[in-house]
Chain A
Amino acid sequence: MISREVAWRVFAAEYNSSNLEVKGQEERAPSYVVTPLGAMINRLFVVGVVTDMENTGTDEEPLWRGRITDPTGTFYVSAGQYQPEAAMAMSKIQPPAFLAVVGKSRTYSPEEGTLYVSVRPERLTVVDERIRDYWVLETCRATMRRISAVEEALQMDAPSAEELMKLGYPKALSEGVVAGLSHYPDIDTSRYRTLVMDTLKYLLPEYHAEAEFPGKVEEGPEELEEEREDIDNEEKVLAIIDKLDKKGKGAPWDEIVDEAKKGGIGKNELEELTNSLLDKGLIYEPVLGKMKRI
């Protein structure tokens, strides 16, 4: 039986802490992001507040990126020209709004040993607060189930998926927990337990006065976002240089500064970006005051 990949309910904090990706052996086997609590995510269902949504590509080749926050952190979503329906739906979103997204897990590994995760939407729509609250509750339950599966596995001498399944855990979760345990050796379930409890309080008005906004489990996504913005802006600068380099002898610096300003990049930032591009060997200075693509 071919079954459709289930849409996991997972909080941003857990999802963004993942840095393990596994792929099946067979041809065209799906790949999964394995979270520290053993969710094996190929598809996920997320409801949160969309805080920004912008086209970082061009009109012809759009690349829509957005952020969706839940009580624990931020999901990064993006869709481009190869996801025309999702990109079209994203283009119509006016933040802030409650947004429900069903999408596929995506990974980005800028260098060996680091893995960043994001969501590639399949379908999305604006929903109301009740649906968000219901998602938060469901996700609390699902997270607790994973916590208890991990805690059971930690008590085993030799954790195995078969033993977890005997205890009544589903196959995918049992396999995910075992895969996760060898990759995330220092998993601290009490942190996630606290996270779930804080999130439940978030749903209950009687706690609102005292409840702090639940914290992030790990840092990382913020840096990622900055890094991504840098990369996007570097692309912009390269495009400017290409455009201004009409005779193939380099683009005059002053004109680059003016053009970058129109694109929202200040002079200091531009200098940083060009330095980075020089370091990467993507541009060079053929004569003083001119920049040229290599």
Chain B
Amino acid sequence: MEREELAPHVREIARVLGKDVDEQAIWKELETYLNLYRVSLETAKRSIVKKLGGDPSSLAKGTRKQIGQLGVSEQSVDLLVKVITVNQRDIEVDGTSKPILYGILGDESGTVPFTAWDADRYAFGKGDVVLIRNAYTKEWGGQPQVNLGNRAIVEPQDPGAVSIGEGQGPYYQEPKEVRIAGLQDNMGNVTVTGRVMTLEKKSVETSAGAKTVFSGTIADETGKVQFSAWHDFELKQNEVITIRGAYVRGWRGIPQLNFGERAQVIRPQVKFPGAAELSRPTARSIGDLERAGGGIEILVTGTIVDIRKGTGLIFRCPECNRVVQKGSCRIHGTVSASPDLRIKAVVDDGSSAMTAIMGRKITESLTGIGLEDALRKAREAMNPDVIGEKIEGKLFAQPVELVGNVTSDEYGLMMIVSAAKIVVPEVREQAAALLATMEGST
């Protein structure tokens, strides 16, 4: 690989490692990995970051997208685009003036506004076709906006690589109508209709000073979602609203709806399910939750296919509630820990699997093992692990119905269970119904 091709990767490694790094050392490492050991560039970068004490997961993983596919919070994205307009202006940064570029980019799928935060780094003009790497997006009025920060790389391309029809594309696109269960992290410009289930007014500190935010949950037949309105739309509890131009941010995977003053809120005159009906938990498959990233007040029916370590009788630090090992909390040292019961189960419904965390009350009701009972049995056996084994014996392979909020992270889905019961459904009726539909269709 040529030296100039490597330069952005060296810069990126330096960025991940922080300020005090020797770029020359990175050059040497990278060249060794690539030329001597001949590993892939991705592997090389990860290994070097790890070796020099950084976190490889903060390396950008650029994905190639078309403008039409852009979300409102892309971390690192590559775009092959034509520069439709580009202008320069100066902004004030810490008292000094600095030139930036702004304008509009386009490809076959649409157009998008952009800002390049250091005009001196780029040399493209109107009509040029370029490959932009490591750009990121931010939300502006519910729509994505492309930003070229200090990681961005712009490479000139053949002018024929992007062909846009004459006069195509105002950058405004019609918002897309989405049911609540269909919301996913990073979606921009959506229209959602739902009933306001809860509402509260809060003041939050932002970089631009104190701001009033109206937050709560709204629901439709497919589910519930938390929202934050960054503008006073005079929302009222229990009213049915349509929000046009909202965007979605994930919190631990759970999609949350955001909308500001550029969004539109209308009150449609439609028949809509009542609050009582909408307040029930929504039945979802685990595979569906995996696609959405999570959700609130979810009902899952599945089978317990594994019981994880950390199930049974545990001891918690009285200061911080962390689970202690051998009477010692990893923050507060030796403490007189208080006993507790917990289940960490893997629940699988045939579409996917998730971890389910159940606290003491649910553990007691599901297994019939009380805390006092557990302590006595553990003392008799002189081993607290027997409780976990007993729980496993009672629960493995049992079908359960669980209600709770489902989050996700790099280790998968997790439900914090608020209600649980073992349910072995009556199969005959359902078998007869399924048979009848099959006989009807042949």
Bound together, the chains give a CA A260 to CA B403 distance in angstroms of 59
Of listed B290, B346, B438, B442, residue having the most chain A CB within 10 A: B438
Question: Do B435 and A2 touch across chains, with their CB atoms under 8 A apart?
Answer: no
Bound together, the chains give a CA A169 to CA B354 distance in angstroms of 20
- A82 smallest CB distance to B (angstroms): 19
Question: Do B424 and A2 touch across chains, with their CB atoms under 8 A apart?
Answer: no
1/0 per position for A1-34, CB-CB distance to B under 8 A? 1111111110000000000000000000000000
Please tell me the number of chain B residues within 8 Å of chain A, measured between CB atoms.
Answer: 34
Residues of B within 8 A of A203 (CB): 427-428, 431
Question: Do B430 and A45 touch across chains, with their CB atoms under 8 A apart?
Answer: no
Asked whether B439 is an interface residue with its Cβ less than 8 Å from the other chain, the reply is yes
Question: Do A131 and B399 touch across chains, with their CB atoms under 8 A apart?
Answer: yes
- B332 smallest CB distance to A (angstroms): 32
Interface residues of B, dominant DSSP? mixed
- B211 smallest CB distance to A (angstroms): 32
Bound together, the chains give a CA A25 to CA B375 distance in angstroms of 49
Residues of A within 8 A of B412 (CB): 1-4
Bound together, the chains give a CA A231 to CA B379 distance in angstroms of 49
Given A134-B424, A200-B438, residue A3 in contact with residue B396 (CB < 8 A): no
Instruction: Give the nearest-CB partner of B442 in chain A.
Output: A193
Residues of A within 8 A of B74 (CB): none
Asked whether A290 is an interface residue with its Cβ less than 8 Å from the other chain, the reply is no
Question: Do B352 and A193 touch across chains, with their CB atoms under 8 A apart?
Answer: no
Given A7-B348, A200-B438, residue A131 in contact with residue B305 (CB < 8 A): no
Bound together, the chains give a CA A193 to CA B440 distance in angstroms of 13
Question: Do B410 and A6 touch across chains, with their CB atoms under 8 A apart?
Answer: no
Asked whether B434 is an interface residue with its Cβ less than 8 Å from the other chain, the reply is yes
List B residues 186-226 near A (Cβ within 8 Å): none
Residues of A within 8 A of B399 (CB): 131, 134
Question: Do B306 and A102 touch across chains, with their CB atoms under 8 A apart?
Answer: yes
Asked whether A217 is an interface residue with its Cβ less than 8 Å from the other chain, the reply is no
Asked whether A236 is an interface residue with its Cβ less than 8 Å from the other chain, the reply is no
Asked whether A144 is an interface residue with its Cβ less than 8 Å from the other chain, the reply is yes
Question: Do A3 and B438 touch across chains, with their CB atoms under 8 A apart?
Answer: no
Bound together, the chains give a CA A3 to CA B393 distance in angstroms of 25
Residues of A within 8 A of B410 (CB): 1-2
Given A4-B412, A197-B439, A201-B435, residue A131 in contact with residue B350 (CB < 8 A): no
Instruction: Give the nearest-CB partner of A198 in chain B.
Output: B435
Question: Do A134 and B427 touch across chains, with their CB atoms under 8 A apart?
Answer: yes
Residues of B within 8 A of A9 (CB): 350
- A162 smallest CB distance to B (angstroms): 14
Residues of B within 8 A of A45 (CB): 303, 305, 348, 350
Given A1-B408, A138-B350, residue A133 in contact with residue B287 (CB < 8 A): no
Asked whether B21 is an interface residue with its Cβ less than 8 Å from the other chain, the reply is no
Question: Do B306 and A122 touch across chains, with their CB atoms under 8 A apart?
Answer: yes
- A90 smallest CB distance to B (angstroms): 15
Asked whether A100 is an interface residue with its Cβ less than 8 Å from the other chain, the reply is yes
Asked whether A216 is an interface residue with its Cβ less than 8 Å from the other chain, the reply is no
Which one, B305, B351, B409, B432, contacts A123 given CB within 8 A? B305
Asked whether B170 is an interface residue with its Cβ less than 8 Å from the other chain, the reply is no
Question: Do A204 and B396 touch across chains, with their CB atoms under 8 A apart?
Answer: no
Asked whether B37 is an interface residue with its Cβ less than 8 Å from the other chain, the reply is no
Question: Do B427 and A137 touch across chains, with their CB atoms under 8 A apart?
Answer: yes
Residues of A within 8 A of B303 (CB): 7, 45
Asked whether A136 is an interface residue with its Cβ less than 8 Å from the other chain, the reply is yes
| A contacts, CB < 8 Å to B | 1-9, 45, 47, 100, 102, 122-123, 125, 127, 130-131, 133-134, 136-138, 140-142, 144, 170, 193, 196-197, 200-201, 203-205
Identify 19 new A-B residue pairs, CB closer than 8 A, beyond the known A123-B396, A127-B397, A170-B287: A3-B412, A6-B287, A6-B353, A7-B303, A7-B350, A7-B353, A45-B305, A100-B397, A125-B393, A131-B399, A133-B427, A137-B425, A137-B427, A137-B431, A144-B434, A197-B435, A200-B431, A201-B435, A205-B428
Show 24 residue pairs from A and B whose CB-CB distance is below 8 angstroms, ordered by the A residue.
Answer: A2-B410, A3-B413, A6-B287, A6-B351, A8-B350, A45-B348, A45-B350, A47-B397, A100-B396, A100-B397, A122-B306, A123-B305, A125-B397, A131-B399, A134-B399, A134-B424, A137-B427, A141-B434, A193-B438, A196-B438, A197-B435, A200-B431, A201-B435, A204-B435
